[in-house]
Structure 1
Amino acid sequence: MTDNSSRSVRVERTRTGHFVATNARGGTVEFGTAADGDTAFTPVELLLAALGGCSAVDVDVATSRHAEPSRFTVTVDGTKIDDELGQRLTDLAVTFHVAFPDGEGAERARAILPRAVRTSHDRLCTVSRTVEVGTPVTTTVAED
């Protein structure tokens, strides 16, 4: 049995203020600063996407086995502040906009949607659980 609990990404600088993150499977995502006209995600936007995406995956798995949604959008909002604790986000809110067309399984999918959202938030979504629990983050400089 292999231990697959470890998670890791590698972040590399591509040019000033721009980076690419690579996961163990070879997937990549580019991000950087919010410079003039730059459309790349910022690290804060990636955090918001991770919050919404984590629960979206959980909820989609639970509901789409009953019916294919006609609309499935998740919005994630927060307020960036700078106070005595430093820069951070407050008032994080994940909002689901999900609709199912009439048909077989749609009523069941609609009925379990609130429970699926709650279960993802309360137990399943590693991202929101990590943020809410307040897991410490350590940073170091490796000696090359």
Structure 2
Amino acid sequence: MTDNSLRTVTVERTAPGRFVATNVRGGTIAFGTGSDADDTAFTPVELLLAALGGCTAVDVDVATSRHAEPTRFTVTVSGNKVNDELGNRLTDLAVAFSVAFADGEGADRARAILPRAVKTSHDRLCTVSRTVEIGTPVTSTVEDA
């Protein structure tokens, strides 16, 4: 691995059931358990769904918007949370694109490449969905115990 291949975020507890993730550029996102009805913060599962949709959305946006700006670009990501002999996990993950372009030659090109862009992102480009599908092992350790 090269120095620029490492990706890191730091997660810190801010209150009971509340956390903030910080990336190396200083960006932050708050999240929590979602156990409080008034808690609108994302849960870790929702962040995973957002990462799946966001990763492919970025790839598809780059490919299509060079030809035309979309008039609608929505990605809906869903999955069923199950608890079985394998433990807690999501099944039936689905990423659905709803993208529209105005009329015109560039828009026609963007519409034409949209299915290929979604497939290419899913099959080769999106690090998040590729990692989930391949099943990369996760190591958890305790430091300074």
After TM superposition, the score normalised by the length of structure 2 is 0.97
Gap runs ≥5 in structure 2: none
CA distance in 2, matches of 1:86, 1:124: 29
- Worse-matched range after superposition: 27-36 or 62-71: 27-36
Identical residues among aligned pairs (%): 79
- Partner residue in 1 for 2:81: 80
CA distance in 1, matches of 2:59, 2:18: 31
Gap runs ≥5 in structure 1: none
Deviations 1:43-96 (A, max 9, x none): 000000000000000000000000000000000000000000000000000000
Letter in 1 for 2:141: T
CA distance in 2, matches of 1:73, 1:123: 21
1:123 CA drift (Å): 0.1
1:136 CA drift (Å): 0.3
1:37 CA drift (Å): 1.2
Letter in 1 for 2:41: A
- Partner residue in 1 for 2:108: 107
1:104 CA drift (Å): 3.6
CA distance in 2, matches of 1:103, 1:46: 36
CA distance in 1, matches of 2:42, 2:126: 22
1:103 CA drift (Å): 2.1
* CA RMSD in angstroms, aligned pairs only: 0.9
CA distance in 2, matches of 1:104, 1:111: 11
* Runs of 4+, deviation exceeding 6 Å: none
SS of 2:104's equivalent in the other structure is: coil
